[in-house]
Amino acid sequence: MNKRTYSGAYFRRRYSNASTSTIGSTTTHSTTNKIPFVPSGDTVTIVLGVNDASMGTINAVVVQSANPGTPEVPVTNRDGSKTLTVARGSTVRVSASAATGYVLKNFTGTPTPPATSTARFDVVANTNCNFTAVFRQVSTPTYHTVAVVYNSTRGSVAGNGLTPEPGYPDDNGQMRATMSVQNGNSVTLTAQPKQGYRFVRWEGLTVAGKLNQTSANPQIVQQVFANLNLKAVFEPESGGGSDDPHDKPNPDEPISPIDPVNPVNPSGGDITGKTIAFAKQWWWALLIVGYIVYKEMKGGRR
């Protein structure tokens, strides 16, 4: 055997014993296990996914690690793709990036990824792989209650998630409905008058940070940073008239006997009723005044 032939055999034996083992995000090399021989065209597939696309992304990069001690140079970058086809035995670096407001919880899949929530890990792709990056919110979100009141006999209010509270509408037609909204989110509410009525305004809005604002637009988009109490006001198309049932006369209230001329208005709404009520109460004073006037007029004729 010549020297050249022997050195070639030695070279093959030397590097056929190299392998890659991975822990977390650090790749180490040893010569204890042999990397399987990779026939030409023998490939495996890496499938990537996330639990919620709005929370972050997952990517994979193939690195060179055939020769121990050489730099791990990325040779293929499939950033953002769902699958990655690589030669069997390749080292693949899987990494995750969380969106603002979220953090990486862990990776799941097969073969089993590291249990720690490191942002990346390496895997030797000897078989098909399937990995999912699981993200979560940084903290528990805050929710606020938006309450809407209106007279249901005059109109209605529509909004996604708006639900009447128990006991409403009440006997006067007063409606109270509520919805739960995450802090910073916006809600769209639409006021719809019934036949014979018209929408007047919204009350209790927050506009540009100012509280208790009004709007004449039937449809509003309200951003929510605190609990809100809103009111949709309707009135008859003929004009005037509060839609608050508590502002209406109470039909059960007794009529005052002081004013028989105007029983509809116990307070004596016309001048005749007021005059009669005054005369009944102060008749004796009127007699004295009349007597004095009579004496003055009689004395003046002498």
DSSP 112: P
pLDDT, position 162: 96
**Gap between the Cα atoms of 64 and 77, Å rounded:** 12
pLDDT, position 192: 97
pLDDT, position 224: 92
Does residue 40 surpass a pLDDT of 90? Answer: no
Beta bridge partners of 188: 221
- 135 closest CA partner among 109, 113, 114, 104: 104
Domain ranges of the chain: 3-131, 143-247, 255-297
The answer to whether 103 and 135 have CB atoms below 8 angstroms apart is yes
Going by C-beta distance under 8 Å and a sequence separation of 6 or more, which residues neighbour residue 122? Answer: 20, 22, 25, 26, 27, 63, 91, 92, 93, 94
Per the model's pLDDT, the better-predicted residue between 158 and 280 turns out to be 158
Does residue 160 surpass a pLDDT of 80? Answer: yes
The pLDDT of 33-39, averaged and rounded, is 40
**Gap between the Cα atoms of 22 and 116, Å rounded:** 13
Name the strand (E) or helix (H) holding 279. Answer: helix 271-281
The answer to whether 226 and 188 have CB atoms below 8 angstroms apart is no
**Gap between the Cα atoms of 135 and 115, Å rounded:** 14
Find tokens 């590291």 and name the residue: 114
Local structure of 79: helix, strand or coil? coil
Burial level of 126, CB count in 10 A (0-12/13-18/19+)? middle
**Gap between the Cα atoms of 191 and 174, Å rounded:** 15
Return the percentage of the chain with pLDDT > 70, whole number.
Answer: 65
The amino acid present at 239, given as its one-letter code, is G
**Gap between the Cα atoms of 239 and 30, Å rounded:** 89
- 255-276 pLDDT, tens digit per residue, is 333 333 333 344 444 555 566 6
The CA-atom distances, in angstroms, between 234 and each of 170, 242, 289 are: 17, 8, 53
Q: Is 143-247 CATH 2.30.230?
A: no
Highest mean pLDDT among 32-41, 65-74, 237-246: 237-246
Does residue 238 surpass a pLDDT of 60? Answer: yes
**Gap between the Cα atoms of 190 and 146, Å rounded:** 14
- 150 closest CA partner among 228, 219, 231, 216: 231
The answer to whether 202 and 215 have CB atoms below 8 angstroms apart is yes
